[in-house]
A and B are shown apart, each in its own frame.
Chain A
Amino acid sequence: MRLERRSLLAGLGLAPLAAPAFSQGAPLKIGMITTLSGPGGYIGQDIRDGFQIALDQEQGRLGGQAVQVMIEDDGFRPPQGKAVVERFLRNERIRLFTGVVFSNILGAVAPDVLDADGIYVSPNAGPSNFAGRECHRNYFVVSWQNDSLHESAGELANRLGHRRMFILAPNYQAGRDALAGFRRLFKGEVVQEIYTRLDQTDYAAELAQIRAARPEAVFQFHPGGLGIAFLRQYAQAGLLATIPQVMPAPSMDAGTLAAVGDAAEGVNLSSHWNSDFPNAPSRAFVTAFRAKHNRTPTYYAQQSYDSALAIGAALRQTRGSVDPAAFRTAMLRADFVSTRGNFRFNTNQHPIQDWFSLKVERVNGQLAIVTKDKILENHGDVFAAQCRI
């Protein structure tokens, strides 16, 4: 078991100098459980860093309330995440949680939080089971509902004119959501579908099957290190030239691009945000992030930043209280300006937002992910109807 215990003492010392704190006494503790180790480790780091940018902007506060973020690593293992939540709930008596990257970990962590009447705000994972029948009044998702991300990729595939596609994803909740979501909007034929393993690093067998099936294009969802391995081996197998890929944003983020290099050129992706968005909050965020960390933020950082803003907006209205009912009312008003532009909460407390097509192109000689067109507008998810909050 690996533990990383680092408290972000978010500007406690500055409290007297800043705007008046709403609650006297100790700052509000927020529990952040995220994946800081393993191939997905850079995602957790971005979640942590994106959240911190929001804290920096308010000198260690969110919505006027002094906040202390306690972070621990879930090690990409559900039992470890569960142990962390237990400790946060019992010893630290934390009531507000965020941070989980992967849907399988969320499946183990969220029930504990919700059963203890805590609040969970998701900066990334948005599995379908919690969007529909198992939705909960204390559970909010600021990033996306998993399926809707892949529905946008399906729509992109339609616009690119692909008729026969081969689809792959790892065999866990988000992976199943991915293939289901893609199929929902894709109008062509899926010639074959494969679920890979979450711990897989060698895709030779799958690549052989892709070659044998002769699709027009491939849709694959492999976040983090999985995506890097897949794309490199895809290029090595000589498939890039003949069978293009259509991906959702997680399969090609700034980290993947840096690792994969030239093999990524020409890839099409769909996403709800990109670092070149022209709106003011986005530009301010990207500038601040680049200045502090010397790297381009991925949308994981952006989602975490938006989560912090959302929490801050709620805390401003509840005056620092995390009473679930009051917090919920405040949260659902989404009284903040998102880096995505268009954002509001659906009835199942997941986002309604726009989706865009992106492409990896050379800009001034360097490879970059460039925003192209809007492909879906005010798009929610199909599970909202089943949610009865």
Chain B
Amino acid sequence: MRNVLPLALLLAAAIALPWAAEAMGQPATIGLATRIMCLGIAAASLNLILGHGGMVSFGHAAYYGLGAYTVGILWEHFRLGEPLFGLIPGTNQLLITLPVSMLVAGVASALIGALSLRTTGVQFIMITLAFAQMVFFLFVGLKAYGGDDGLLIRRRNIVPGLDLRDQDQLYWLCLGFLVAWLFLQWRIVESRFGRVLEGIRQNERRMAAIGIATYRYKLAAFVIAGMGCGLAGALTANYLRFVSPDLMAWQKSGEIMVMVILGGVGTLLGPVVGAAALVGMEYVLGGITENWQFFLGPILLAVVLWAPGGIMGLLGRGARRG
């Protein structure tokens, strides 16, 4: 059983971050941390199907982007006062936009997953990539929502009891969602569903041979992961106050995958650690040299070749990989 104390300490540190940042005169760190929280949710979701399910989806940024755009489009219609398709009114209520974002991402991942999961291996990777590209190009082409230039969300969503214009409160909200999502994921992985998924990753044929409908399990996991990315996207949209097709480009999918690998595939905290590492590297190294990606490349290579357990593996808390 996992040792609870380090986790509790970590959580306490995370909660205290805004005060520490202000005290050190680095308030922009809070924004950085907020980004890490949101990306952490996305990476954790991908980890569910990648690390535990063995499905290499190169297109999960599509759901991340869809979640973000849902917030953006609902805001736009709220601002203009015209309902979407003449039916759905716009809104800036977080309590509505978040569930709707997850729903949209869930439906999209259900459709795309249903088609993609009929293939395996390289074809699966490519087809998930292809669908993500389709979504990307669709939004690039929608000039009504900014297209390539992106869509501005002038004001963050409102939620009773919090003022999200205060970056501390937004950070805590995202932290809260991250913790909740990680808890949910932990429960899923430890449940029977999670065991089946792990079994499918190890040997799908065997699982099918013992009578498990592997397709349904994989699809369910795919949709859960999609909804997680949608949630992450919706929170990101609130943070950035700007959405653009960038968020669903294949490079973004690659970034999320990198976070999972860097942190440690198949571990609970790995993706969040990976997100922190990547965002941190970008910020710190980027301040030193604009060519920081020159070093990131070989670092990734090194991790893949010699530290397949990622940072969590190096810390001795890696996953048991069958």
Contacts and interface: CB of A to CB of B under 8 A. Distances in A.
Q: Do the two chains touch directly in the complex (Cβ atoms below 8 Å apart)?
A: yes
A293 interface: no
A4 interface: yes
Nearest to B141: A171
A91 B27 contact: yes
A104 B287 CA distance: 25
Interface string A1-19: 1111100000000000000
Nearest to A173: B149
A104 B148 contact: yes
A73 B290 contact: yes
Contact of A1 (B147, B150, B286): B286
Contacts of A111: 152, 154
B242 interface: yes
Contact of B28 (A1, A86, A108): A86
B286 to A, nearest CB: 4
Contacts of B26: 91
Given A1-B286, A4-B290, A91-B28, A108 B147 contact: no
A1 B149 CA distance: 17
Nearest to A91: B28
B28 A87 contact: yes
A84 B8 CA distance: 34
A197 B141 CA distance: 10
Contact of B287 (A3, A115, A173): A3
B149 A107 contact: yes
A82 B246 CA distance: 13
B79 interface: no
A5 B287 CA distance: 6
A79 B244 contact: yes
B152 A90 contact: no
B150 A78 contact: yes
Contacts of B149: 78, 104, 107-108, 172-173
Interface string A168-205: 00011100000000000000000000000110000000
Contacts of B244: 78-79
Contacts of B147: 171
Contact of B242 (A73, A79, A173): A79
B129 to A, nearest CB: 19
A374 interface: no
Interface string A79-96: 100100011001100000
Interface in A140-184: 171-173
Contacts of A333: none
Interface in B130-185: 143, 147-150, 152, 154
B31 interface: yes
Nearest to B35: A83
A78 to B, nearest CB: 5
A77 B286 contact: no
B68 to A, nearest CB: 11
A76 to B, nearest CB: 11
Contacts of A86: 28, 31
Contact of B143 (A79, A87, A171, A198): A171
B204 interface: no
Nearest to B285: A3
Contacts of B242: 78-79, 82, 108
Interface in B279-317: 282, 286-287, 290, 293
Interface in A27-42: none
Nearest to B287: A5
Nearest to A73: B290
B20 to A, nearest CB: 15
Nearest to A107: B149
B240 interface: yes
Nearest to A93: B27
Interface string B21-57: 0000011100100000000000000000000000000
10 contacts: A1-B286, A78-B150, A79-B240, A79-B242, A90-B28, A104-B149, A107-B149, A108-B242, A172-B148, A197-B148
Which are the 5 A-B pairs with shortest beta-carbon distances? A3-B286, A104-B149, A91-B28, A4-B290, A90-B28
Given A79-B242, A79-B244, 9 more contacts: A2-B293, A4-B290, A104-B149, A107-B149, A108-B150, A108-B152, A171-B147, A173-B149, A198-B148
